[in-house]
Structure 1
Amino acid sequence: MVQMGSSPTVWRRWLAHELKRLRVEAGLSRKEVAAKLRCTPGKLHYIETAVVAPRVRDLEEILFDLYQVPEERREHYLQAAHNAKKKGWWEKPEDGVAVPKWFSLYLGLEQGASEIYAWETHLVPGLLQTHGYATALNRNGTAELSQEEIQARVDIRMSRQRILHGADPIRFWCVIDEAALHRDVGGAEVMRGQIAHLLELSQLPKVTLQVLPQPSGAHTGMAGSFSILGFPNPVDPGLIYIEYRTGAVYLEQPSEIKEHQIAFEHLRVAALKPAPSQVRLQEVMESYS
């Protein structure tokens, strides 16, 4: 079985892809399977698109009676269903401040991803932010947040960053518009610390940082920031994540994914290469002295 860490969101995604694959291999339509399960095709659609995890009873009927999965493989799927129903650490806030549902979905995907390629236009990406930068950003960037809410957001942001470290870190490749580095978030001291942190992270073996210098003229990233997420399951095509103030868009059509992959390729060609990017980061950091 493909290893996907502890993210229930990605286990649900893996199981969804597997159940769709098994149904197609069995030569059955969603309508036919739904009729045997005594449910609507819509319910099966939600299972096969990872909106919901299947009940164990339904899963056993699907695996044993309909798809004829070999006995030695059945326990893998049942364990995946069990993992998919667990709660991630971000769904159990100790301070009682709930994570919005749309962002909880992203956290589950991020925490179980194997690779992320990000283009950022306005700010340092959350996975790379320092505590000071994240605090200043939340204090000034969103209206009417209480101190408790600000602290909860910052704590979650810091916890997210564990995927960059450890025995099996994620592959993270980011292109940042230089304008984001010149945007003073929290004052000179905070910005010096933030850029020093970027320089430190750029030394990690699975982190690649590039700076798109100013001025760079018209380029393919002007439409806005986006992230490309890839997952351990080799048959999972991944997805595109685009965030706005109160939600996010998840793009999963092959043409949409391809379009953003091409855009990212153009951006990293236009950007400074990693070593010159480190030099530019050093120069920007010194400008805050």
Structure 2
Amino acid sequence: MDDARMANPTLRQRQLAKRLRELRHDSGLSIAEVAHRLLCSPAKISRIETAQRRVSLRDVRDLGRLYGVPDPTELMALAKDARQQSWWQEPEEVDFRPLTGLENEAVAITEYETTTIPGLLQTEDYARAVISGVVPDISPEALGERVDKRMRRQDVLRKATPPRYWVLLDESALHRHIGGPAVMAGQLGHLHELARLPHVQVQVIPYTVGAHVGLDSAFMLLEFDEPAGLPDTVYLDTLAGQIFQEKPGQLRYFRELLNHLRSVALGPSESAGRILQRQAKFAELAH
């Protein structure tokens, strides 16, 4: 395992959460019982065990003692690494946004998007137009930082061993005028080029499908190999915040959704043709 992976705070936080959850189960204690003994709320223990809260070194020490861990060295090391900052987490940010860290550890990513081109496939101009449209009052400085982060996030597709990336894209994303015709022409050309990479596959779900099971539910499935020590995870970015789901029943539901979406989508070759058709239309409008 290389140093970059070892220092990944998202990976370490989720590994720590998984380990603490296992230790509690092995101890035969409920979340309520642990909270009572440590004089804290059950919600705090639950957030720690689901990696929604960065745990303090003191909490790790106390939990280790409660669970009868003879040598807390491993737990403390995980906790220290989980508290490190990475380029996607600025010091002033309150929320720890783990998506980028998970993308960098995943061996496969399957993404379904309903309205825009996915962030991993966006051009800089398109990303700027999307972000400024969603957050109209954003300052130029903040906009520049967010665009830069989105571009750097795309490095995951250029790694020596990149994840398999499968995109299911509703056709509406090819038609929506974001940033103007020139920006859209550039974006769709970029999308077509990336779809030709051996580890990237793009399928378009055409308008003619009509209503379907994923019509209003964009999401991402991230899959991990055994050494990562992480469960496969579904990520949803909503107005209410980021949601991570990893229970077997939840994963089964979203995998069924993906199977259905794949079955109604155009094949990769037809999808590439549809993308080029829309690019030509936007290029024509731009001139």
TMscore range, shorter length = 0.7 to 0.9
1:116 to 100, 104, 109: 109
The AA in structure 2 aligned to 1:180 is A
CA distance in 2 between counterparts of 1:164 and 1:83 reads 24
1:205 counterpart = 2:190: no
Q: Which residue of 2 aligns with 1:259?
A: 253
1:164 to 157, 181, 184: 157
Q: Which residue of 1 aligns with 2:89?
A: 91
The AA in structure 2 aligned to 1:196 is G
Q: Which residue of 2 aligns with 1:25?
A: 26
CA distance in 2 between counterparts of 1:107 and 1:126 reads 11
TM-score (norm 1): 0.81
Identity within the alignment, %: 35
Query: Given that residues 10 and 113 in structure 1 are in contact (C-alpha distance below 8 angstroms), is that contact kept between their aligned partners in structure 2?
Result: no
Query: Given that residues 114 and 216 in structure 2 are in contact (C-alpha distance below 8 angstroms), is that contact kept between their aligned partners in structure 1?
Result: no
Look up the SS of the partner of 1:215 in the other structure.
Answer: helix
Query: By how many angstroms is 1:210 displaced?
Result: 0.9
Query: Given that residues 30 and 41 in structure 1 are in contact (C-alpha distance below 8 angstroms), is that contact kept between their aligned partners in structure 2?
Result: no
CA distance in 1 between counterparts of 2:58 and 2:132 reads 47
CA distance in 1 between counterparts of 2:155 and 2:236 reads 22
Query: Given that residues 6 and 112 in structure 1 are in contact (C-alpha distance below 8 angstroms), is that contact kept between their aligned partners in structure 2?
Result: no
Q: Which residue of 2 aligns with 1:283?
A: 277
Query: By how many angstroms is 1:245 displaced?
Result: 4.3
CA, structure 1 residues 264+89, in 2 after alignment: closer, same or farther (shift >3 Å)?
same
CA, structure 1 residues 272+105, in 2 after alignment: closer, same or farther (shift >3 Å)?
same
The AA in structure 2 aligned to 1:140 is G
Give CA-to-partner distance per residue, 1:48-73, whole Å, 9 cap, x none.
Answer: 2223344445535655773446x6xx
CA distance in 2 between counterparts of 1:181 and 1:140 reads 17
Cα RMSD for the two superposed structures: 3.1
More displaced, 125-134 or 57-66?
Answer: 57-66
CA distance in 2 between counterparts of 1:254 and 1:285 reads 40
**Counterparts of residues 1-289 of structure 1 (less than 5 Å):** 4=5, 6-30=7-31, 38-40=38-40, 42=42, 43-60=44-61, 62-63=63-64, 66-68=67-69, 75-92=73-90, 101=95, 104-232=97-225, 236-245=230-239, 247-289=241-283
Look up the SS of the partner of 1:288 in the other structure.
Answer: helix
CA, structure 1 residues 151+68, in 2 after alignment: closer, same or farther (shift >3 Å)?
closer
Query: Given that residues 23 and 67 in structure 1 are in contact (C-alpha distance below 8 angstroms), is that contact kept between their aligned partners in structure 2?
Result: no
Query: By how many angstroms is 1:216 displaced?
Result: 1.6
CA distance in 2 between counterparts of 1:100 and 1:60 reads 24
The AA in structure 2 aligned to 1:88 is S
More displaced, 135-144 or 38-47?
Answer: 38-47
CA, structure 1 residues 144+44, in 2 after alignment: closer, same or farther (shift >3 Å)?
closer
CA, structure 1 residues 146+80, in 2 after alignment: closer, same or farther (shift >3 Å)?
same
CA distance in 2 between counterparts of 1:17 and 1:124 reads 33
The AA in structure 1 aligned to 2:76 is L
CA distance in 2 between counterparts of 1:156 and 1:28 reads 41
Query: Given that residues 4 and 232 in structure 1 are in contact (C-alpha distance below 8 angstroms), is that contact kept between their aligned partners in structure 2?
Result: no
Query: Given that residues 124 and 151 in structure 2 are in contact (C-alpha distance below 8 angstroms), is that contact kept between their aligned partners in structure 1?
Result: yes
Query: Given that residues 90 and 99 in structure 1 are in contact (C-alpha distance below 8 angstroms), is that contact kept between their aligned partners in structure 2?
Result: no
Query: Given that residues 116 and 227 in structure 1 are in contact (C-alpha distance below 8 angstroms), is that contact kept between their aligned partners in structure 2?
Result: yes
CA distance in 2 between counterparts of 1:5 and 1:281 reads 39
Query: Given that residues 126 and 183 in structure 2 are in contact (C-alpha distance below 8 angstroms), is that contact kept between their aligned partners in structure 1?
Result: yes
CA distance in 2 between counterparts of 1:270 and 1:208 reads 15
CA distance in 2 between counterparts of 1:100 and 1:197 reads 34
Q: Which runs of 5+ in 1 are unaligned?
A: none
CA, structure 1 residues 54+138, in 2 after alignment: closer, same or farther (shift >3 Å)?
closer
Give CA-to-partner distance per residue, 1:30-62, whole Å, 9 cap, x none.
Answer: 4565566x4436243332222334444553565
CA distance in 1 between counterparts of 2:134 and 2:181 reads 17
TM-score (norm 2): 0.82
CA, structure 1 residues 188+19, in 2 after alignment: closer, same or farther (shift >3 Å)?
same
